[in-house]
């Protein structure tokens, strides 16, 4: 496609990405923008980052840029760093089968490796642009924009997929999913984010292959889940993933709730995902810890109750032990970095502490560094469960916005209602008076 046909102009491209491509071209290499950025510009969206591919090897790229870092083991990549913006530059990737032609490939080429499930464990074979296009996941991700002649090379008919709003894998879907099961997550992510549907052949194998996600390293899955749920379309993505059987292998502990999406537990998750989407779409800060705390909340409650009734632990100890267990079990599938797991536990502990508001405690809780997250969490629980929990959340809504006088008043009122509640209880427990003639 020529400039007149595709309508991409240099104004749509990050000046740093342009710089990188001009430098590579100037040194006699080919270079292109590829993947999400080309797709997004063609769809009239603003790309979130710009990826470049070239026939220069990582070492040759490094030789051209002082601000270059080489990263990655599975795929070797160059990052060109411009302050806060990083332009990722990859070398054309080639075929990994033994029949692959290696005539044009650089000398330091290594064969890709597959494990016995067909999954690629190393993929550093360099190749031509045509081979690179075949190695990409979806047809709309295999379009290459060149600043040498301002053309777009559309190897897999990606433009057609954009027009039809269809997510379609390049090549044989089952093979491609086996090579890299994360592509199943990516298919759903793009469908939700780009308001597209899955091509029937791309959709068909997913349910049967969903279990392959168990073979993906937990650290990679953490990164992927961030992209899934913190993209501004988290709710839609979650329930679409569920439709394709992809939530259970990621979060085995919520599997018991998944069969009925209208149950309280799933409503809670839905509400938290909705709030997260709203926050992201109005440029507010979100933390993955909040989401993980929510996803694992009901498994935690259940596990804590079981521990309490089965091993006679007190509520406090049972809750603490259960918190550790639930997080440990989740990290077998999806790694949760320590900086987030401590926040998850803070949010949970606050759920235990927020009901206890007497004396100085209410003020201590207000100044807890994670009060806001703990309160927000309580509020959603209150909205879902109603009753006493909602009253408690509303009390905290009032209390945190009140001035000193009002706060004291709220605490006094609380003392009065609670102590009258206690009197009632005490009265009930008192043995009935014996009548003189008994
Ligand atoms: P986003 O806008 O969400 O960043 P993207 O398409 O740019 O979407 P990236 O994860 O940034 O997605 O990947 C960049 C490109 O690399 C993709 O467009 C695709 O061509 C290729 N790619 C990424 N992951 C895979 C994969 N698992 N298998 C094959 N190709 C992939
Ligand atoms: Mg990208």
| Residue at 37 is within a domain | yes
pLDDT category of residue 415 using cuts at 50, 70 and 90: confident
Encode the chain in three state secondary structure.
CCHHHHCCCHHHCCHHHHHHHHHHHHCCCCEEEECHHHHHHHCCCCCCCCEEEECCCHHHHHHHCCCEEEECCCCCEEEEEECCEEEEEEECECCCCCCCCCCCCCCCCCCCEECCCCCEEECCCECCHHHHHHHCCEHHHCEEECCCCCCEEECCCHHHHHHHCEECECCCHHHHHHHCCHHHHHHHHHHHHCCCEECHHHHCCHHHHHHHHHHCCHHHHHHHHHHHHCCCCHHHHHHHHHHCCCHHHHCHHHHHHCCCCCCHHHHHHHHHHHHHHHHHHCCCCCCHHHHHHHHCHHHHHHHHHHHHHHHCCCHHHHHHHHHHHHHHHHHCCCCCCHHHHHHHHHHHHHHHHCCCCCCCHHHHHHCCCCHHHHHHHHHHHHHHHCHHHHHHHHHHHHHHHCCHHHHHHHHHHHHHHHHHHHHHHHHHHCCCCCCCCC
Nearest CA to ligand 1 atom 4: 36
Q: How high is the pLDDT of residue 394?
A: 95
Does residue 391 share a domain with residue 307?
A: yes
Residue range 424-432: mean pLDDT, rounded:
49
19 closest CA partner among 87, 100, 115: 87
Q: Which ligand is nearest to the CA of 90?
A: 1
Q: Which atom of ligand 1 is nearest to 37's Cα?
A: 7
Same domain, yes or no: 409 and 311: yes
Which chain residues have CB less than 5 Å from ligand 2, an ion? 36, 49
pLDDT at 438: 43
Using an 8 Å Cβ cutoff, are 132 and 94 in contact?
A: yes
Residue 122 lies in a domain: no
Q: Which residue has the higher pLDDT, 281 or 73?
A: 281
- Residue to probe by mutation, ligand 1, list 33, 131, 141, most atoms within 8 Å of CB: 141
Q: In this structure, are 154 and 185 located in the same domain?
A: no
Percent of the chain with pLDDT over 90: 76
- Indicate which CATH number applies to the domain containing 49: 3.30.460.10
Residues 347 and 397 in one domain: yes
User: Which residues are known catalytic residues?
Assistant: 49, 51, 137
Give the pLDDT of residue 418: 75
Mean pLDDT of 270-281: 96
- Residue 78 sits in the same domain as residue 171: no
Whether 241 and 330 map to the same domain: the answer is: no
User: Which of 39, 77, 112, 136 is the pocket-test mutation for ligand 1 (most atoms within 8 Å of CB)?
Assistant: 136
Closest ligand 1 atom number to CA of residue 35: 18
**Are residues 178 and 314 located together in one domain of the fold?**
no
Lowest mean pLDDT among 92-96, 153-157, 399-403: 92-96
112 assigned to some structural domain: no
In 3D, which of 378, 332, 326 has the Cα closest to residue 354? 378
Of the candidates 262, 253, 341, 347, the one whose C-alpha atom is nearest the C-alpha of residue 302 is: 253
Average pLDDT over residues 161-190: 97
- Which pLDDT score, from 0 to 100, does residue 240 have? 97
* 246-257 average pLDDT score: 96
Q: How far is the CA of 35 from the centre of ligand 1 (A)?
A: 6
Q: How many domains does the chain have?
A: 3
Which residue lies with its CA nearest to atom 21 of ligand 1?
136
Nearest CA to ligand 1 atom 12: 36
Residue 426 pLDDT: 45
**Residue 436 confidence (pLDDT) above 90:** no
Q: In this structure, are 176 and 311 located in the same domain?
A: no
What's the average model confidence in pLDDT over 100-118?
Answer: 51
Q: Which one of the ligands is nearest to 186 CA?
A: 1
Q: Which atom of ligand 1 is the closest one to the Cα of 49?
A: 4
Kindly report the pTM of this predicted structure. Answer: 0.87
Q: Are 29 and 92 in contact (CB under 8 A)?
A: no
| Ligand 2 centroid, distance to 49 Cα (angstroms) | 5
Residues 262 and 184 in one domain: no
The model's confidence at residue 435, banded by pLDDT at 50, 70 and 90, is: low
Q: Which of 119-128, 200-209, 422-431 has the weakest average pLDDT?
A: 422-431
Task: Return the CATH number at 309.
Answer: 1.10.3090.10
Q: Report the nearest atom of ligand 1 relative to the CA of 182.
A: 27
Atom 17, ligand 1: residue with shortest CA distance: 35
* pLDDT tops 60 at residue 108: no
For the chain, give the mean pLDDT: 90
What are the tens digits of pLDDT across the range 340-397?
A: 999 999 999 999 999 998 878 888 999 999 999 999 999 999 999 999 999 999 999 9
Task: For residue 121, name the pLDDT band (cuts at 50, 70, 90).
Answer: low
Does 11 fall in a domain?
A: yes
Of 15, 49, 5, 275, give the one whose Cα is nearest residue 159: 5
Residues 207 and 306 in one domain: no
Mean pLDDT value across residues 238-247: 97
What pLDDT is stored for residue 395 in this prediction? 92
357 found inside a domain: yes
Q: Which atom of ligand 1 is nearest to the CA of 40?
A: 2
Which of 17, 33, 34, 36 maximizes ligand 1 atoms within 8 Å of its Cβ, making it the mutation to test the pocket? Answer: 36
Q: Which pLDDT belongs to residue 177? A: 98
Q: Are residues 177 and 266 in the same domain?
A: no
CA of 216 to the centre of ligand 1 (A): 17
Residue 34 sits in which domain range?
Answer: 1-92+127-164
Residue closest by Cα to atom 28 of ligand 1? 137
Residue-wise pLDDT for 287-346, tens only, equals: 999 999 999 999 999 999 999 999 889 999 999 999 999 999 999 999 999 999 999 999
Residue 206 and residue 143 in one domain? no
Q: What is the mean pLDDT of residues 267-272?
A: 97
Query: What is the reported pLDDT for 60?
Result: 95
The pLDDT of residue 110: 44
Res 417: pLDDT: 81
Task: Tell me which residues have their CB closer than 6 angstroms to ligand 1.
Answer: 35-36, 48, 51, 136-137, 141, 180, 182-183
Average pLDDT over residues 12-37: 96
Kindly report the protein residue whose alpha carbon is nearest to atom 10 of ligand 1.
Answer: 36
Please give the pLDDT value at position 98.
Answer: 45
Nearest CA to ligand 1 atom 15: 35
**pLDDT reading at 179 higher than 70:** yes
- Pairing mode, if any, of strands 85-91 and 51-54? parallel
What is the predicted pLDDT for the residue at 103? 41
Predicted confidence band at 8 (pLDDT cuts at 50, 70, 90)?
confident
Cβ distance 268 to 384 under 8 Å? Answer: yes
């Amino acid at each position: 496609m020529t400039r007149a046909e595709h309508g991409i102009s240099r104004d749509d491209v990050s000046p740093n990405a342009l710089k990188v491509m001009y430098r590579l071209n100037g040194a006699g290499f080919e270079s292109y923008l590829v993947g999400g950025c080309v797709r997004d510009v063609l769809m009239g969206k603003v790309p979130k980052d710009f990826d470049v591919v070239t026939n220069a090897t990582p070492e040759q790229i490094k030789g051209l840029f002082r601000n270059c870092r080489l990263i990655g083991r599975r795929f070797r990549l160059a990052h060109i760093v411009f302050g806060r913006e990083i332009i990722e530059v990859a070398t054309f990737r080639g075929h990994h089968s033994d029949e692959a032609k290696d005539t044009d490939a650089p000398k330091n080429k290594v064969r890709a490796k597959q494990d016995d499930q067909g999954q690629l464990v190393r993929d550093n074979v360099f190749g031509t642009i045509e081979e690179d296009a075949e190695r990409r996941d979806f047809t709309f991700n295999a379009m290459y924009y060149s600043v040498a002649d301002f053309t777009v090379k559309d190897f897999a008919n990606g433009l057609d997929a954009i027009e039809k709003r269809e997510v379609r894998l390049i090549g044989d879907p089952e093979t491609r999913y086996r090579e890299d099961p994360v592509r199943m997550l990516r298919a759903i992510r793009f469908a939700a984010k780009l308001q597209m549907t899955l091509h029937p052949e791309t959709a068909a194998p997913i349910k049967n292959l969903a279990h392959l996600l168990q073979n993906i390293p937990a650290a990679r899955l953490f990164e992927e889940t961030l992209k899934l749920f913190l993209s501004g379309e988290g709710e839609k993505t979650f329930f679409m993933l569920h439709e394709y059987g992809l939530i259970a292998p990621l979060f085995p502990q919520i599997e018991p709730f998944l069969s009925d999406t209208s149950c309280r537990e799933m409503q809670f998750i839905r509400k938290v995902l909705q709030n997260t989407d709203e926050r992201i779409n109005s440029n507010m800060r979100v933390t993955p810890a909040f989401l993980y705390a929510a996803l694992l909340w009901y498994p935690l409650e259940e596990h804590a109750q079981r521990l309490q009734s089965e091993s006679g632990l007190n509520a406090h100890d049972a809750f603490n032990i259960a918190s550790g267990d639930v997080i440990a079990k989740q990290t077998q599938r999806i790694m949760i970095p320590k900086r987030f797991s401590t926040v998850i536990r803070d949010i949970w502990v606050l759920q235990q502490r927020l009901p206890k508001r007497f004396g100085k405690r209410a003020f201590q809780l207000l100044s807890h560094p994670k009060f806001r997250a703990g309160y927000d969490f309580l509020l959603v629980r209150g909205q879902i469960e109603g009753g006493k929990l909602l009253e408690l959340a509303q009390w905290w809504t009032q209390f945190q916005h009140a001035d000193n006088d009002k706060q004291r008043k709220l605490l006094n009122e609380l003392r009065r209602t609670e102590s009258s509640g206690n009197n009632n209880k005490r009265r009930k427990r008192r043995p009935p008076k014996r009548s003189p003639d008994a």
